[in-house]
């Protein structure tokens, strides 16, 4: 938390522009200058770029704390993120056993990528809390085969779409997985799957209705799929060949030239005509993908690797996998020579070892989990596949998939507990 606070003014570590957009909406809500939910002006397409949930969350934090700053939001989210590891303990205990749950919680507390984003005042960490909580209810719906557990699982996915729209289709993936994994009559399995979709629809439908009425068009929970697709092509080595660019500023300038607008004409990424322009970006990107499908599959595989590259230099454009804590980075100057510097340094060393062991442990644990409990492993792995495939199809950043990063730790925990059990048996023998 201290490292992030010291870097709130550094765009390399904190997207202050994105936070400023949420902050302005929250301030307007508190001052009574804007609706907390509705979009009155159809020309306000900028208001539909992000779902309204995080702005409402900031308004709530500002109101409760009396401090309208990113630092206040950081403190609240940091505390809640520290407690969120208990969700992963619950998921692991429900899916496998209590030892796996506790080990997964320990790994989550240690993971640099979760620590960094948990201390960053943006919507990414809160979104992941909701998805992990939904995954816990999904497991309970599978285990108990009860209607309301399935509704709850879908509701958490739908609620996450109020913060970030990445999980918009996850409820469908979960519903399909639940239908094929639950045993019994197909009517019973279908009811559970539909209950899950119903739970998600309760939260997502108001966003879709709001956007449809405001813009007279179907707009998902958040606007920007075309931007992500086109800028995603812009980050590849064939960007110049296709005329794609990376970066919102460059994209606006490209469209200014295409539209024949002078430099004095106001133009932003989503205003004016944001819906139509974003759809045009989608069409351009899909034409490129359709013409070069094998190449784009290679691009997606590279992005998947970027999401799983825990050690070494990160791949450009994907963001950071977090920092290893050191006394110099994370302690005040007056504490850097104190006894506290020793455990902090040891913790950083543990994080460094974790980075190199994480992927082998996850892969080995995934194999062991499938051998131990195939059905429950498929339920958990469905979420991982969703984030890898859907995320890699667009412009992807590591922080968008924090829920996947958390769930992957369950498989590492399975591997560690099995190693400990094997060593225990060897010692007894």
**CA–CA distance, 386 with 263 (Å, rounded to integer):** 41
**For the residues 142-156, what does the mean pLDDT come to?**
94
Q: Compute the mean pLDDT over every residue in the chain, rounded to the nearest whole number.
A: 91
Q: Could you tell me if 116 and 398 are in contact, meaning their C-beta atoms sit under 8 angstroms apart?
A: no
Q: Is the pLDDT of residue 336 over 90?
A: no
Higher-pLDDT residue of 365 and 9 is: 365
pLDDT band for position 387 (cuts 50, 70, 90) = very high
pLDDT attached to residue 408: 97
Q: Which domain covers residue 323, as residue numbers?
A: 2-428
Percent above pLDDT 70 for the chain = 100
Task: Kindly tell me the burial class for residue 425, based on how many C-beta atoms sit within 10 Å of its own C-beta (0-12, 13-18, 19 or more).
Answer: exposed
pLDDT attached to residue 50: 84
Q: Is the pLDDT of residue 216 over 80?
A: no
Higher-pLDDT residue of 304 and 184 is: 304
Higher-pLDDT residue of 315 and 68 is: 68
Q: Is the pLDDT of residue 86 over 80?
A: yes
Q: Is the pLDDT of residue 110 over 80?
A: yes
Q: Is the pLDDT of residue 27 over 70?
A: yes
**For the residues 84-100, what does the mean pLDDT come to?**
96
pLDDT attached to residue 132: 97
pLDDT attached to residue 47: 73
**For the residues 259-279, what does the mean pLDDT come to?**
85
pLDDT attached to residue 221: 60
Q: Could you tell me if 46 and 78 are in contact, meaning their C-beta atoms sit under 8 angstroms apart?
A: no
Domain count, the chain: 1
pLDDT tens column, 389-410: 998 988 888 999 999 999 999 9
Q: Is the pLDDT of residue 134 over 90?
A: yes
pLDDT attached to residue 222: 67
pLDDT tens column, 282-294: 999 999 999 999 9
pLDDT tens column, 30-76: 998 888 888 877 777 777 778 899 999 999 999 999 999 999 999 99
pLDDT band for position 357 (cuts 50, 70, 90) = very high
């Amino acid at each position: 938390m201290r490292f992030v606070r010291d870097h709130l003014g550094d765009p390399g570590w904190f997207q202050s522009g994105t936070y400023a957009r949420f902050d302005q909406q929250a301030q307007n809500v508190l001052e009574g200058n804007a609706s907390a939910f509705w979009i009155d002006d159809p020309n306000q397409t900028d208001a539909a770029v992000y779902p309204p949930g995080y702005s409402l969350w900031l308004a709530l934090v500002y109101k409760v704390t009396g401090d309208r700053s990113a630092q206040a939001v950081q403190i609240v989210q940091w505390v809640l993120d520290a407690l969120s590891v208990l969700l992963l303990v619950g998921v692991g205990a429900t899916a496998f056993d209590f030892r796996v749950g506790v080990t997964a919680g320990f790994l989550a507390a240690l993971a640099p990528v979760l620590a960094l984003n948990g201390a960053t005042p943006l919507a990414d960490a809160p979104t992941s809390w909701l998805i992990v909580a939904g995954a816990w209810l999904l497991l309970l719906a599978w285990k108990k085969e009860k209607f309301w557990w399935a509704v709850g699982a879908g509701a958490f996915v739908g609620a996450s779409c109020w913060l970030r729209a990445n999980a918009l289709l996850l409820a469908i993936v979960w519903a399909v997985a639940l239908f094929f994994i639950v045993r019994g009559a197909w009517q019973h399995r279908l009811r559970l799957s539909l209950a899950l979709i119903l739970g998600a629809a309760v939260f997502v439908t108001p966003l879709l209705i709001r956007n449809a009425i405001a813009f007279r068009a179907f707009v998902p929970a958040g606007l920007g799929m075309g931007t992500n697709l086109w800028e995603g092509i812009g980050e590849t080595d064939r960007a110049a060949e296709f005329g794609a660019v990376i970066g919102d500023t460059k994209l606006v300038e490209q469209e200014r030239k295409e539209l024949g607008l002078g430099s004095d004409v106001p133009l932003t990424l989503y205003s004016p005509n944001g819906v139509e322009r974003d759809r045009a970006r989608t069409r351009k990107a899909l034409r490129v993908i359709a013409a070069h499908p094998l190449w784009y599959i290679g691009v997606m595989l590279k992005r998947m690797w970027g999401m799983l590259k825990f050690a070494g230099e990160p791949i450009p454009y994907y963001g950071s996998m977090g920092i290893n804590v050191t006394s110099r980075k994370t302690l005040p100057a007056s504490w850097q020579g104190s006894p506290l510097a020793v455990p902090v340094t040891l913790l950083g060393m543990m994080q460094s070892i974790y980075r190199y062991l994480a992927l082998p442990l996850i892969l080995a644990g995934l194999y062991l989990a499938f051998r131990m409990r195939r059905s429950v492993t498929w339920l958990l792995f469905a979420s991982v596949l969703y984030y890898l495939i859907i995320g890699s199809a667009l412009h992807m950043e590591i922080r968008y998939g924090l829920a996947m990063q958390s769930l992957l730790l369950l498989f590492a925990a399975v591997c560690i507990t099995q190693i400990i059990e094997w060593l225990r048996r060897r010692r007894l023998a």
